[in-house]
Amino acid sequence: MKSEYKMILNPVTDDSHESLVKAKNNLGFIPNMYRNMAAAPGLLESYLYTYDQFRVNSDFTSVEQEVVFLTLSVENGCTYCVAAHSLIADKMSNVPTEVTDAIRDDLAIPSSKLSSLHAFTKAMHDTRGLPSQADVKAFLGAGYSERNILDIVTAIAVKTMSNFTNHLFHTKIDSAFESRKWEG
C-alpha cells in the first residue's frame, strides 16, 4: 500500500550521517527506508531507539517479536516492511516459514500461542489500543502478560514510524529483501 501522495523530499544520500554509518556497520548496507527517514533526523533517531528498545527489552522471544512486527506491517499494508521482516524472520529469528507465510497470506497460524499473539496484536492495531475484555482474556490465557501488552504498544510505535514513512515515500524494496517481496 502506498499513499496517494508521494514525498518529493529527497532521501539522505550522505553516507557519513551518523545513523546511516551505524546502520551500514550493523547491517552491511543502508536500507532505503533509513535514507528516507534520515530526511527528518528526529524520525530516524526515534525509530532506531524504539526499535532497539523493543528488540532488547521486550519480554518476547525473537520469534514472537517477528510475529508482532510482521502482523503490524501486514495490517498497515507496508510492502517494504513485510518483505524486510519476512526475510529477518526466515534468516535471523528462525521463525518457521509456515508461520511467516500464514501471517503474510492471512491464513491460520500453526501454533496456538503464536496465533493468540497475532490475534491480539491485530486487535490492538484495529481498535487503536482499545482491546475488549475478551481480547485481553484470550491473550493472557495463552500465557502472555500485561507487560506483553505494553511491549505491543512499543512495537506499534515502531511500525507506525516505519510503515507510514514507507507509504509516503513509496519506498523501493532493497535487493536484500526482494526474495520475500509481498504485494498484499
Domains: count for the chain: 1
Residue 136 lies in a domain: yes
Residue 13 lies in a domain: no
Burial classification of residue 136, based on how many CB atoms lie within 10 Å of its CB (0-12 exposed, 13-18 middle, 19 or more buried): middle
Residue 3 is predicted with a pLDDT of 87
Q: How does DSSP assign 3-25, residue by residue?
A: -SS---SPPP--TTSHHHHHHHH
CATH number at residue 158: 1.20.1290.10
Q: How far apart are CA 65 and CA 44, in angstroms?
A: 20
Q: How far apart are CA 155 and CA 119, in angstroms?
A: 15
Q: How far apart are CA 177 and CA 171, in angstroms?
A: 12
What's the average model confidence in pLDDT over 133-142? 98
Residue 76 lies in a domain: yes
Residue 1 lies in a domain: no
Domain that holds residue 115: 18-180
**pLDDT above 90: residue 13:** no
Residue 7 lies in a domain: no
User: Cell triple for residue 107?
Assistant: 491464513
What's the average model confidence in pLDDT over 82-106? 95
